[in-house]
Structure 1
C-alpha cells in the first residue's frame, strides 16, 4: 500500500542527504520520481545536502496545488512512481492535505522530509499537519549534537552569534553561516532554554574574570 511518510529531525540531522539517497536508489531501479522543495539553502528549484550534493527540484510556491501539478504531469504522459518533498515544514497545511490525496487517489508513495519545530520550539504548520496525517513518522537516526556534546533536540536562530527568540518563523539560513549573519545552531533543550550558543559560551570563557574584592 502507498504511504505518506514523514522523516523528521533537527536541522543538522541529514534529512536532505537521505532524501537524495532515496531518490538515487529508486532511480537506479528504473523508478521515476518528482522532487519538490521550498526555500532550500542552495536556491530556488534545488535540493541540496551539507555533503555538497545538489539536484534539480520543483520549487513549491505559495498557493501551488501539488496534487494538480502531478495530475497534469500524468495526464501529459509523464511517468511518476513516487514523490519526494524536502523542507516540508515550509508547506502550508492545505498542501500537506494535497500530498495525502496524492497517496490516496493516485496511489503514489510520498516521502516528506522536514524539521518539526522552529527556533521558538513551536511546531511549523506544515509539520503539524504531517504529524496529523502521515501513515508513518520516522525520526532520523543521524544524531545531531549540541556544542556541549549532548543530543541536540532544538533549533536555535542566531544573530551575531547570539540566540534570538523573536522574528518571522521562516528566515532561510544555515548552520554554517558566519556568526555575524543570521544563522542556525542545534542545541540540547537545556542550553536552548538558557540561550547558550557556542559563540556566547566562547565569549564568556574569553571574558576576564572579576578580581576578588579584598579588604586592606
Structure 2
C-alpha cells in the first residue's frame, strides 16, 4: 500500500539530506520518482543539504497541482512510483490534499520533508495539514543542538544575531550564517532559550553572571 509520510524536525537536523538519500535508495531499486521543493535557500528548482549535497528538483508554486503533475507524467508513459517533497511546510493545505489523493487513488508513495513550526512556534499550514492527513509522521533522529548543548526544539529568526518574534511567516534565510546587522538568519534553540529569546550571539554578549545563570548546570534549588 502506498503511504503519505511526513518527516519532520527542526532546521539543521538533516531533512534534505534524508530526502536525497531516500531518492537515491528508491531509484537504485528501479523505482521512478519525481523531486519537488519550494523556496530552498540555494535557489529555485534545487534541493540542497548543508552537507553539500545538491540535486535538481521541480519548484512548487502556488498554482502547482500534484494530482495533475502525476497524471500528466503517467499519460506520457512514466510510472511515477513516488514523490520526494522537500520544504513541505511551504506547501498549501490544498496541495497536501492533492498529495494524499495521489497516494490513495494513484498508488504513489509520497515522502514529505519539512519543519513543523515557524519562528513564532506556530504551525505552518502545509505542516499542519500533513500532520492531519499523513499515514505516518516521523521525527528525525538526528538532533539539532541549541548553543547551550541541549536538544534544539524551536526555530528562531534573528536579525544581526538578535531574535525577533514579528514579521512575515516565510522569509528565506540560512542557519548558522554570520548575518549582517540588517540580514535575516535562523538559529535552532531549546525551548527555554527560545522563551528567553537568548541566541548564541546575545548569550555571548551577556555579562559573565547572566551567561552563567543561563546554563542548566548552574541552576540551583531554591533552598540552596
- Taking structure 2 as the reference length, what is the TM-score of the superposition? 0.90
Q: In 2, Cα distance between the equivalents of 1:194 and 1:118?
A: 17
Please name the residue that 2:166 is paired with. Answer: 166
Which segment drifts farther, 76-85 or 153-162?
76-85
Please name the residue that 2:213 is paired with. Answer: none
Q: In 2, Cα distance between the equivalents of 1:143 and 1:36?
A: 25
Consecutive aligned runs of 4 or more in structure 1 exceeding 6 Å deviation: none
Q: In 2, Cα distance between the equivalents of 1:177 and 1:74?
A: 42
Please name the residue that 1:83 is paired with. Answer: 83
What stretches of structure 2 of length at least 5 have no aligned partner? 210-224
Please name the residue that 2:56 is paired with. Answer: 56
Please name the residue that 1:73 is paired with. Answer: 73
Q: How does 1:87-106 map to 2 (within 5 A)?
A: 87-106=87-106
Please name the residue that 2:203 is paired with. Answer: 201
**1:187 and 2:189 equivalent?**
yes
Please name the residue that 1:30 is paired with. Answer: 30
Q: In 1, Cα distance between the equivalents of 2:148 and 2:179?
A: 18
Partner of 2:83, secondary structure, is strand
Deviation digits for residues 141-168 of structure 1 (CA, Å, limit 9, x no counterpart): 0011100011100000000100000000
Q: In 2, Cα distance between the equivalents of 1:47 and 1:29?
A: 21
**1:127 and 2:134 equivalent?**
no
Q: In 1, Cα distance between the equivalents of 2:159 and 2:197?
A: 12
Q: In 2, Cα distance between the equivalents of 1:197 and 1:176?
A: 11
Cα deviation for residue 204 of structure 1 reads 1.2
Cα deviation for residue 197 of structure 1 reads 0.1
Partner of 2:206, secondary structure, is helix
Please name the residue that 1:142 is paired with. Answer: 142
Please name the residue that 1:210 is paired with. Answer: none
Cα deviation for residue 79 of structure 1 reads 2.7
Q: State the number of aligned residues.
A: 207
Which segment drifts farther, 98-107 or 172-181?
172-181
Q: In 1, Cα distance between the equivalents of 2:149 and 2:177?
A: 20
Q: In 2, Cα distance between the equivalents of 1:14 and 1:112?
A: 13
Deviation digits for residues 161-214 of structure 1 (CA, Å, limit 9, x no counterpart): 00000000000011032232210000000000000000011111489xxxxxxx
Q: In 2, Cα distance between the equivalents of 1:66 and 1:177?
A: 33
Please name the residue that 2:43 is paired with. Answer: 43
